[in-house]
């Protein structure tokens, strides 16, 4: 997991071939044009299934309502656009209680385990979650608008 501000996102370009493009998109995005208000989650393709962003406009669930999840095929860059996000974290290797089998179609598995730590992401801050990072988004309270950049591992 990596935490930083969007202004310093360019520092992470060497970590993956698509990171430079992902951070360029996040830095130059016109959020008002990307959110229609018709749904609380909207997907926008950048490079098909290899690189896309989902904009999520919703209320936090609180720490008790946030569920640990992990992915195999995608790296997440989660950027808070508006509001205040809290995300729980636990190493995937320490997760012992899967809530269900891995869903290959949706690239997700949920866990009944609880996060070991919580991070606070104000507007303009992001977290990068790799496949070894179980994370529990929407752990805060109140409205939050966030971008979830999905980057194919391969």
- Please say whether the beta carbons of 135 and 10 come within 8 A: no
Please give the share of the chain, as a percent, with pLDDT higher than 90: 90
Residues 140, 85: contact at Cβ < 8 Å? yes
Q: Which fold has domain 2-30+38-152?
A: Jelly Rolls (2.60.120)
What pLDDT does 54 receive? 94
Residue recorded with tokens 């869903």: 103
From 51, 13, 31, 18, select the one nearest 124 (Cα to Cα). 31
Residues 80, 95: Cα–Cα separation, whole Å: 26
Domain map of the chain by residue range? 2-30+38-152
Q: Would you state the pLDDT for residue 149?
A: 98
Percent of the chain with pLDDT over 70: 97
Angle at 61 between CA 95 and CA 99, to 5 degrees: 30
Q: How far apart are CA 109 and CA 3, in angstroms?
A: 23
Tens digit of each residue's pLDDT (9 = 90 or more) over 83-104: 999 999 999 999 999 999 999 9
Estimate the share of the chain in helix, then strand, then coil, as percent rounded to the nearest 5.
Answer: 20, 45, 35
d(CA 139, CA 16) in angstroms, rounded, equals 28
Bridge partner residues of 145 (DSSP): 57, 82
């Amino acid at each position: 997991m990596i935490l930083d501000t969007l202004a310093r996102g360019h520092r992470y370009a060497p970590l993956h071939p698509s990171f430079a493009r992902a951070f360029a998109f996040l830095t130059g995005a016109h959020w008002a044009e990307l959110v229609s208000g018709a749904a609380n989650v909207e997907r926008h393709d950048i490079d098909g299934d290899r690189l896309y962003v989902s904009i999520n406009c919703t209320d936090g669930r609180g720490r008790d309502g946030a569920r640990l999840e992990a992915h195999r095929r995608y790296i997440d860059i989660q950027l808070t656009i508006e509001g205040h996000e809290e995300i729980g974290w636990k190493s995937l290797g320490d997760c012992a209680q899967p809530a269900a089998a891995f869903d290959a179609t949706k690239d997700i598995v949920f866990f009944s385990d609880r996060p070991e730590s919580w991070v606070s992401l104000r507007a303009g801050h992001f977290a990068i979650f790799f496949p070894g990072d179980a994370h529990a988004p929407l752990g805060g309270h109140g409205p939050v608008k966030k971008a979830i950049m999905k980057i194919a591992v391969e």
